[in-house]
């Protein structure tokens, strides 16, 4: 159905659309329906699911995925992948911890160095992609493998073991912990600071996407790089910026892991990159780029948090854990696609 041209002779594309129709056209609508479905399901299946303390656990679990899912969603809207995002989190934590320890420096020095190193890795991903013209899947797969090896190799070389030494007794640790890993307990509810980080990151990502020129560039580059370049969009800058955004959030996640556990295992983080991608896809990002939202990625992360913890609260046999997780995610994504189709049909 086409909107009739308004009477005052303006372009019909500028005609106001009703709020309901605007809502139906949002990419995250399907995931919200999915989230409600999963929530209702586990409320019935797991007796302890609805407790305030359980819900705060779920929120924390979702935030650890969601902090990374937002920049990954932006990257996917820009039409690219990052398979190194999972181990990059571990790398950032390792650099921070080992630099502080070996240099006997204030912990904040390590945190700063780690930020520079992680951003450099993000820049490397973007730079290689724009220079070589190879698919991002290949470039970041290479980075993923290299980082996995570096994490183990360097940690072993420097500390002689496979995990870092404790930095809890060093200067600056308490203040860094307050920023990255503090928590407030109100009654039986524990609110972790990562939840605030998560909301802030999603808000900033949404603002960039919908209210800035950079957001338009991201959509344009994901929709078609050549067309975007022809209309004057800085494609190279946009792509490198997106990868550095992922790196920035990987740094935040990494510091959280370091300051909440104070010792980092060098072999971890492998496989988490897929969780971020899954959260983004459930949230309405298309695998082909050019479509999606940051709020959707947050809803996707929340679905993941509900599912992975709900299975435990329901006391199901853990042998089937991965199966249920996969089935849930598939169903949520299918529902999402179906809702989107319905929404588009009513336009």
Partner 1 sequence: MGAVLAAVLGASLAGCSSTGGKRAEERAKAAQAGRPAVSTPRWTFAMITHAGDGDTFWDIVQKGAKEAAAKDNINFVYAHDDQAQQQAQFVQNAIDQKVDGIVVSLAKPEALKDVLAKAVKAGIPVITVNSGSAQSAAYGALTHIGQDEVVAGEAVGTELNERGRKKAVCVLHEQGNVGHEQRCAGAKKTFSGTMENLYVEGTNMPSVQAAIQAQLQADPSVDAIVTLGAPFAPTAVKAKEAAGSKAEVDTFDLNASVARDLKSGALGFAVDQQPYLQGYEAIDLLWLYRYNANVLGGGRPVLTGPQIVTADEAGKLEEYIKRGSR
Under the binding rule (CB under 8 A), the answer on residue 182 touching partner 1 is no
CA gap 226, 80 in Å, rounded: 15
Which residues, in sequence order, are CB contacts of 54 under 8 Å at separation 6+? 48, 309, 313
Q: How far is the CB of 6 from partner 1 (least distance, A)?
A: 54
Q: How far is the CB of 83 from partner 1 (least distance, A)?
A: 17
How many other C-beta atoms can be found within 10 angstroms of the C-beta atom of residue 159?
Answer: 17
CA gap 261, 325 in Å, rounded: 26
Of the residues 25, 26, 41, 51, which one makes contact with partner 1 according to CB under 8 A? 51
Tell me if 195 sits within 8 A of 181, measured CB to CB. Answer: no
Beta-strand (E) ranges in the chain?
183-186, 189-192
Of the residues 257, 282, 294, 303, which one makes contact with partner 1 according to CB under 8 A? 257
Tell me if 24 sits within 8 A of 291, measured CB to CB. Answer: no
Of the residues 127, 261, 291, 324, which one makes contact with partner 1 according to CB under 8 A? 261
x-or-dash string of contact with partner 1, 285-314, rule CB under 8 A:
-----------------------xx--xx-
Of the residues 263, 286, 325, 331, which one makes contact with partner 1 according to CB under 8 A? 263
Q: How far is the CB of 247 from partner 1 (least distance, A)?
A: 20
Residues in the chain: 347
Under the binding rule (CB under 8 A), the answer on residue 262 touching partner 1 is yes
Of the residues 45, 106, 142, 163, which one makes contact with partner 1 according to CB under 8 A? 163
CA gap 324, 277 in Å, rounded: 18
Q: Give the residue carrying structure tokens 């290689």.
A: 128
How many other C-beta atoms can be found within 10 angstroms of the C-beta atom of residue 104?
Answer: 9
* Residue (135 or 153) nearer to partner 1, CB: 153
* Residue (106 or 260) nearer to partner 1, CB: 260
Under the binding rule (CB under 8 A), the answer on residue 179 touching partner 1 is no
Tell me if 74 sits within 8 A of 215, measured CB to CB. Answer: no
Q: How far is the CB of 312 from partner 1 (least distance, A)?
A: 4
Three-state secondary structure call for residue 32: helix
Give residues in contact with partner 1 (CB under 8 A). Answer: 48, 51, 53-54, 57, 61, 64, 152, 161-163, 166, 257, 260-263, 265-269, 308-309, 312-313, 315, 318, 321-322
């Amino acid at each position: 159905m086409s909107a009739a041209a308004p009477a005052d002779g303006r372009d019909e594309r500028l005609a106001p659309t009703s709020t309901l129709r605007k809502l139906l056209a949002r990419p995250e609508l399907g995931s919200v329906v999915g989230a409600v479905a999963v929530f209702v399901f586990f409320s019935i299946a797991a007796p302890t699911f609805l407790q305030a303390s359980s819900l705060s656990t779920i929120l924390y679990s979702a935030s650890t995925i969601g902090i990374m899912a937002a920049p990954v969603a932006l990257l996917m809207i820009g039409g690219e992948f990052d398979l190194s995002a999972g181990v990059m989190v571990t790398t950032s934590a390792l650099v921070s911890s080992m630099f502080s320890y070996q240099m006997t420096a204030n912990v904040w020095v390590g945190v700063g160095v780690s930020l520079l190193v992680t951003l450099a890795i993000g820049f490397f991903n973007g730079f290689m992609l724009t220079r070589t013209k190879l698919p991002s899947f290949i470039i970041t797969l290479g980075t993923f493998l290299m980082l996995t090896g570096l994490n183990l190799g360097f940690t072993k070389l420097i500390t002689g073991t496979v995990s870092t030494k404790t930095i809890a007794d060093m200067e600056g640790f308490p203040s860094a912990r307050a920023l990255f890993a503090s928590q407030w307990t109100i009654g039986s509810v524990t609110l972790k600071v990562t939840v605030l980080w998560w909301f802030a990151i999603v808000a900033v990502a949404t603002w960039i996407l919908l209210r800035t020129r950079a957001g338009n560039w991201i959509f344009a580059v994901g929709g078609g790089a050549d067309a975007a370049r022809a209309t004057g969009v800085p494609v190279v800058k946009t792509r490198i910026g997106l990868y550095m955004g992922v790196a920035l959030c990987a740094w935040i996640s990494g510091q959280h892991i370091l300051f909440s556990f104070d010792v980092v295992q060098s072999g971890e983080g492998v496989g988490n990159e897929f969780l971020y991608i899954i959260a983004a896809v459930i949230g309405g990002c298309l695998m082909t780029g050019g479509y999606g939202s940051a709020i959707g990625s947050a809803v996707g992360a929340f679905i993941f948090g509900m599912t992975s913890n709900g299975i435990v609260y329901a006391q199901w046999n853990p042998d089937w854990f991965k199966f249920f997780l996969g089935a849930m995610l598939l169903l949520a994504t299918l529902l999402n696609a179906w809702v989107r189709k319905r929404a588009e049909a009513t336009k």
